Amino acid sequence: MADVAAAPNPQQPVPLDTIPISPTDGSSSESKKESSTSDSKDGEIKTVFHDPENFNVKHPLMNNWTLWFTKPPSGKGDNWAELLKEVISFDSVEEFWGIYNNITPTSDLALKSDYHLFKKGVRPEWEDSQNKHGGKWAFQFKDKKAINIDALWLHVMLAAIGENLEDDEDNEVMGVVVNVRRGFYRIGLWTRTVGKADPSKGRTAEQGREVLHKIGKRFRQSLQLKDNEMVEFSGHTDSAHAGSTRAKAKFTA
């Protein structure tokens, strides 16, 4: 793994052309072959764990993912679409680390900033067709100084892209998000449904709720919460109707 780069200005998204998501700059299949054979036997596979600079094999993820960033509002009537920016998509372990090691740590982001890590093709918005019938598990860390938000957010992202938050057949996890606010950090996990029946999967309403609870418990574990700390689930529709207040939790885990 490459050393973590110095954090850029938290007000400015990192320029995409500075993010190394390839083994070497401008490396072609021929140059990869040369780099992999110059120091070793022909055809030897070198992963990022063998050589962080000259690896020739990537580890694919089960899904493509997209990182989004919400910049703080300017106070001049910005709308959500203007604040939400798509940063970059990736589909391998190596690309994830290349991106993660070159963006501003969550702890250095300006207030009212957000990172969103969602499956490619899903916008981190309630109105997205794949989100509008869903909801989210969430937890607020009110004592910001008592936690390592960078480590927690990394742990949640790795659980998401590693497909550890749900079973293969669940098809519920849409993405994860971290919010930076004056009085708290909040990490959330968005789901496709609110635990209802799914005839296409032969899933009853009770089974849907069981799947949702299982995901909530795994999410809670990824946040490393204490026994008396619970994550809460609320539907996006309820949240939209709640306005500036928090929607009443449907479930806890």
| Model pLDDT for residues 171-183, shown as the tens digit of each residue | 999 999 999 999 9
- Asked if residue 42 has pLDDT above 90, the reply is no
pLDDT at 253: 85
**Which pair of tokens denotes residue 201?**
């999967």
> What are the pLDDT digits (tens) for 83-123?
999 999 999 998 999 999 999 999 999 999 999 999 999 99
**Which pair of tokens denotes residue 95?**
């690309």
> What are the pLDDT digits (tens) for 144-159?
999 999 999 999 999 9
Q: Please, which pLDDT band fits residue 52 given cuts at 50, 70 and 90?
A: low
Closest CA to 165 of 203, 192, 132: 192
| Range 16-25 average pLDDT | 38
Using a cut of 0.85, tell me whether the model's pTM lies above it: no
DSSP assigned state of 226: -
Residue ranges of domains in the chain: 16-252
- Chain centroid, CA 75 distance in Å: 27
Radius of gyration over every alpha carbon of the chain, rounded to an integer in angstroms: 20
Q: Which amino acid is at 14?
A: V
Closest CA to 240 of 129, 125, 142: 125
CATH hierarchy code of domain 16-252 = 3.30.760.10
pLDDT at 30: 36
Task: Assess contact for 119 and 190: CB atoms under 8 A.
Answer: no
**How far apart are alpha carbons 218 and 230 in whole angstroms?**
12
